[in-house]
Amino acid sequence: MSTNIRQPKYFTSEQVAEILTWSLVNSAVEEALIATGTTQANAKESYAIQPARSVTPCGDYSQRLLVMPGYVGNYQLSENGDRINTLACKVVTSFACNQNLQPPLPNILANILLFCPQTGQLQCIMDGTQITAWRTASASIVATKYLFLKRFPQGIEKPIKVAIIGCGVQGQSHALGMCKTFNVIDISLWNRTKSKADNLANKLRAEFPNGLNVQVSDRPQDAVEDADVICIGTYAPNALISYVMLKGGDVHINSVGGGQVHFREVSQDIYDYAVVYVDSLVSVKNQLQVLKATIHGELGAVIRNRGELRRDGRITIFQSLGIAAEDATVAQAVYDTLTNANIKTIHGSK
Ligand SMILES: NC(=O)C1=CN([C@@H]2O[C@H](COP(=O)(O)OP(=O)(O)OC[C@H]3O[C@@H](n4cnc5c(N)ncnc54)[C@H](OP(=O)(O)O)[C@@H]3O)[C@@H](O)[C@H]2O)C=CC1
Ligand SMILES: O=C(O)C1=NCCCC1
């Protein structure tokens, strides 16, 4: 039999990093969130098919291999772009011990396989480690825009105070993404190992020399006490923030940390009071049984019914689990840029 099968391309983390900008990733992730929740092919709407990810513990639960397949159909990477389909699968490991290696490795290492949606042929494998860091922060950015900033007349121009709890890979991408996307006037950083918060503070001061007040806090409560928006992404097995620590009134929390075993970095009393949204209700069934919270709905549903949500004076939580559709749309945007395909994608400064 003749083989017309082409070898897949490979894109390194350096090639991928070169392409990533906050405007590109934010818009690709927003499309993924909108598509999530609609699973049927439909001429007018985008949709996503993303079965629950498989999790293989490798010895114990602190070492896991996750396989995240996803198909996103009939979506656009930019307003004037063609409607496209993407078939992808992220293969990602989470080994909590990697940070103790000399030299340290990221705990979360990923590769994304992108397939031709017409033939199923593997088109490329790209490093997904950076994409995971960026797309998770972007999901929190989109959540902050729709669940929090839409409450105010100034919208995304509103000056906000942000707290970052945990300054690992996720804390860093959240801090940079928030400051690049929104009018952040004040950012407070807390990390268990203080030197990491100090390093991030220096990076932010260098990158945003004007108009951004950067502080490192000794305790999580000091970081969050005035915060409008809190981004928390750790492996903590116990709550790091609780209701009494918050400023009261309008507060939005992006909680991305799965912990090693449970979702425990935010205290139960905050969940009891807050309105909780997720990226995917399907993932909730599989991964969030331990969380005692009423889930209000999916972020994508809020975006689809633009402007209908009013949560004035409330605490909202975006409980992020991470979905394959986000990896798929971002990987597609990166691939298109690197290969000049579907080139009407949106670009912007880093
Ligand atoms: N929702 C999603 O889509 C995604 C979620 N994640 C989750 O986000 C979290 C962070 O991942 P990532 O940033 O890549 O990991 P990193 O290893 O880069 O950072 C881990 C962070 O957790 C902190 N931490 C660990 N244990 C504790 C503890 N007992 N108390 C307080 N802080 C602690 C570390 O502090 P220190 O520096 O002192 O060690 C560090 O700040 C993980 O739970 C991961 O599973 C990751 C990717 C996607
Ligand atoms: O969504 C992801 O990607 C991940 N989520 C939880 C931890 C591993 C990576």
Q: List the CATH number of the domain containing 231.
A: 3.40.50.720
Comparing 252 with 345, the larger pLDDT belongs to 252
Same domain, residue pair 124 and 156 = no
Ligand 1 lined by 37 (C-beta under 6 Å) = no
Nearest ligand for residue 110 CA:
2
Domain count, the chain: 2
Give the residue, out of 33, 107, 108, 256, with the most ligand 2 atoms within 8 A of its beta carbon, to mutate for a pocket test: 108
pLDDT in tens, 226-265: 999 999 999 898 999 999 999 999 999 999 997 555 568 9
Q: Whose CA is nearest to atom 23 of ligand 1?
A: 234
Same domain, residue pair 270 and 198 = yes
Q: Whose CA is nearest to atom 7 of ligand 2?
A: 94
CATH of the domain at 98: 3.30.1780.10
Same domain, residue pair 169 and 284 = yes
348 inside domain: no
Cα angle 171, 220, 186; round to 5: 65
Same domain, residue pair 183 and 258 = yes
Say yes or no to pLDDT of 308 above 70. Answer: no
The candidate with the shortest Cα–Cα distance to 18, out of 172, 170, 126, is: 126
How far apart are the C-alpha atoms of 349 and 25, rounded to whole Å?
A: 11
Say yes or no to pLDDT of 346 above 80. Answer: no
Q: Whose CA is nearest to atom 33 of ligand 1?
A: 236
350 inside domain: no
The candidate with the shortest Cα–Cα distance to 348, out of 177, 187, 213, is: 177
Same domain, residue pair 154 and 45 = no
Say yes or no to pLDDT of 214 above 80. Answer: yes
- C-alpha distances (whole Å) from 272 to each of 48, 181, 244, 314 are 31, 30, 13, 12
Q: Whose CA is nearest to atom 4 of ligand 2?
A: 322
pLDDT confidence of 62, banded at 50, 70, 90? confident
344 inside domain: no
Same domain, residue pair 61 and 145 = no
pLDDT confidence of 19, banded at 50, 70, 90? very high
Say yes or no to pLDDT of 324 above 90. Answer: yes
pLDDT of residue 237: 86
* ipTM given for this complex: 0.99
The mean pLDDT value for 27-42 works out to 92
pTM, whole model, 2 decimals? 0.95
pLDDT in tens, 98-119: 989 999 999 999 999 999 999 9
Q: Which is it for the CA torsion 320, 324, 325, 326, positive or negative? A: positive
The candidate with the shortest Cα–Cα distance to 189, out of 180, 179, 103, is: 179
Say yes or no to pLDDT of 143 above 90. Answer: yes
Same domain, residue pair 181 and 284 = yes
Say yes or no to pLDDT of 43 above 90. Answer: no
Say yes or no to pLDDT of 310 above 70. Answer: no
- Go through the chain and tell me how many residues it has: 350
Ligand 2 lined by 189 (C-beta under 6 Å) = no
Q: Is 264 helix (H, G, I), strand (E, B) or coil?
A: coil
Say yes or no to pLDDT of 343 above 70. Answer: no
Domain that holds residue 225: 136-323
Same domain, residue pair 172 and 124 = no
